């Protein structure tokens, strides 16, 4: 069990609002955005173990699509930055792993 999971289980919250992210749009490699992917996955894992949890809210960004692109649906992402791509992965994790 990792530290995040220990803390979440000890607190046993009714609600979690996830706002954390690396938010710049540099040209860094995708692994440097691990808080947007691995961090989301770790919070999902921990939150799925909280018995009294009523709701988790995960935030994302408009940059899951290229600026100027219109939102079509949650299956048509057009991210053109590493940050946007990392947030797409986070969104996909949320939709696939929430119990």
3-11 and 34-47 helices, crossing angle to 10°: 40
Q: How confident is the model at residue 13 (pLDDT cuts 50, 70, 90)?
A: very high
Residue 3 scores a pLDDT above 70: yes
The arithmetic mean of pLDDT across residues 50-64, rounded, is 94
pTM of the model: 0.87
The arithmetic mean of pLDDT across residues 27-49, rounded, is 91
CATH number reported for the structural domain that contains residue 91 in this entry: 3.40.50.720
Range of the domain at 24: 3-97
pLDDT tens, 65-77? 998 888 888 788 9
Confidence (pLDDT) at 1: 64
Count of domains observed in the chain: 1
Report how far residue 87's alpha carbon sits from residue 77's, in angstroms, rounded to the nearest whole number.
Answer: 10
Cα 79 from chain centroid (whole Å): 15
Confidence (pLDDT) at 99: 53
């Amino acid at each position: 069990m990792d530290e995040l999971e220990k803390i979440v289980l000890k607190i046993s919250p009714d609600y979690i609002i996830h706002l954390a992210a690396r938010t710049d749009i540099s040209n860094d490699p995708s692994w440097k955005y691990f808080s947007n992917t691995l961090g989301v996955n770790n919070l999902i894992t921990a939150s799925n173990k909280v018995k009294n949890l009523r709701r988790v809210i995960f935030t994302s960004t408009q940059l899951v699509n290229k600026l100027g692109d219109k939102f079509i649906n949650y299956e048509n992402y057009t991210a053109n930055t590493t940050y946007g791509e990392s947030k797409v992965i986070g969104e996909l994790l949320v939709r696939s792993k929430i119990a």
